[in-house]
């Protein structure tokens, strides 16, 4: 039985719903494998222009499946090759939106941080409680959290395992927007549809340049940005968008 439900709720939008409600959507090796397969497929699908990842009302995900790790050795961890699962998400060229209700903890918080935009329900909670289990984050928790909220706030969260409320996460820069309870998924899907209606080449370049540039020295990053910006002047969608603006009509984008 699939642990990940894939839906097409709107044109060009894919919804991935983690479906292990009995364990707060804990990320078992099987579920992580299903995420990898799903992301590889939608990354290669030209019809897909935006992806929403969500859980349920109680949990986005409570992190790695603790039951599957109690007796796990370092050798087994290495053999699992888990980075291939995460890199499929990390390398996805389409915009990814996490719709978070309930808990996003440990690997669940790391999964949310793989997204480009995080929409959080008012009662959502974010944290990296690995330290309480005698381990530490292994899918970017120490790095992405520090980059999102700053090193001192991140260190406080990482060393205590304390959680942030959605509002605190928003104020800290971890969350893109806060929705009323019960509305996070609808708001994320509405956002996904708006982005899916944008010229796809411009969307892809913005994501690519931001990701590549954030890890590069500023002058290199600015050069990347300039080159990509020049390149977009040679697309049909750029010509159509600007002509439509001048002619005061709605543009129609071809994705070319």
Q: Which of 107, 108, 140, 141 is catalytic?
A: 107
Residue in 65, 116, 187, 237 binding ligand CO8, rule: CB under 6 A: 65
Asked if residue 33 binds ligand CO8 (CB under 6 A), the reply is: no
Could you write out the three-class secondary structure of 102-169? CEEECHHHHHHHHCCEEEEECCCEEECHHHHHCCCCCCCHHHHHHHHHCHHHHHHHHHHCCEEEHHHH
Asked if residue 103 binds ligand CO8 (CB under 6 A), the reply is: yes
Beta bridge partners of 61: 104
* 110 counts as catalytic: yes
Strands 163-165 and 125-127: antiparallel
Q: Which is nearer to ligand CO8, 23 or 155 (CB)?
A: 23
Residue in 106, 140, 199, 200 binding ligand CO8, rule: CB under 6 A: 106
**The one segment of 133-141, 173-181, 189-197, 198-206 that binds ligand CO8 by CB under 6 A:** 133-141
Q: Where are the beta strands (DSSP E) in the chain?
A: 4-10, 13-18, 50-54, 59-61, 96-100, 103-105, 117-121, 125-127, 163-165, 177-179
- 8-state DSSP, 195: H
Question: In the range 174-203, which residues lie near ligand CO8 by CB under 6 A?
Answer: none
Asked if residue 63 binds ligand CO8 (CB under 6 A), the reply is: yes
CA-wise closest residue to 166 among 112, 106, 125, 129: 125
* 140 counts as catalytic: no
* 122 counts as catalytic: no
Asked if residue 131 binds ligand CO8 (CB under 6 A), the reply is: no
Residue in 10, 19, 23, 244 binding ligand CO8, rule: CB under 6 A: 23
Strands 50-54 and 13-18: parallel
Alpha-carbon torsion, ordered 113, 176, 124, 84, to 10 deg:
-20
Asked if residue 100 binds ligand CO8 (CB under 6 A), the reply is: no
**The one segment of 45-53, 63-71, 144-152, 233-241 that binds ligand CO8 by CB under 6 A:** 63-71
Residue in 66, 78, 156, 216 binding ligand CO8, rule: CB under 6 A: 66
Residues annotated as catalytic (active site), given as ranges: 64, 107, 110, 130
* Residues binding ligand CO8 (CB under 6 A): 23-24, 26, 62-67, 77, 103, 105-107, 129-130, 133, 135, 137-138
């Amino acid at each position: 039985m699939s642990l990940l439900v894939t839906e097409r709720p709107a044109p060009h939008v894919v919804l991935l719903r983690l479906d292990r409600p009995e364990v707060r959507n804990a990320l078992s090796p099987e579920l992580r494998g299903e995420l990898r397969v799903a992301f590889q497929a939608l990354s290669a699908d030209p019809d897909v222009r935006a992806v929403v990842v969500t859980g349920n009302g109680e949990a986005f995900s409570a992190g790695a499946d603790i039951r599957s790790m109690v007796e796990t050795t370092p050798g087994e961890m290495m053999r699992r090759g888990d980075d291939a699962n995460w890199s499929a998400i990390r390398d996805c060229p389409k915009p990814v939106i996490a719709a978070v209700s309930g808990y996003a903890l440990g690997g669940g918080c790391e999964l949310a941080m793989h997204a480009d935009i995080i929409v959080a329900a008012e009662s959502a909670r974010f944290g990296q409680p690995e330290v309480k289990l005698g381990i530490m984050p292994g899918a970017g928790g120490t790095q992405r959290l520090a980059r999102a909220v700053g090193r001192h706030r991140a260190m406080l969260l990482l060393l205590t395992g304390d959680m942030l409320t959605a509002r605190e996460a928003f104020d800290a820069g971890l969350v893109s927007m806060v929705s009323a309870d019960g509305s996070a998924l609808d708001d994320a899907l509405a956002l996904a549809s708006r982005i899916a209606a944008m010229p796809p080449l411009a969307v892809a370049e913005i994501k690519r340049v931001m990701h590549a540039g954030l890890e590069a020295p500023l002058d290199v990053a600015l050069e990347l940005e300039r080159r990509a910006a020049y390149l977009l002047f040679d697309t049909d969608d750029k010509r159509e968008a600007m002509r439509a603006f001048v002619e005061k009509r709605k543009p129609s984008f071809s994705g070319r």
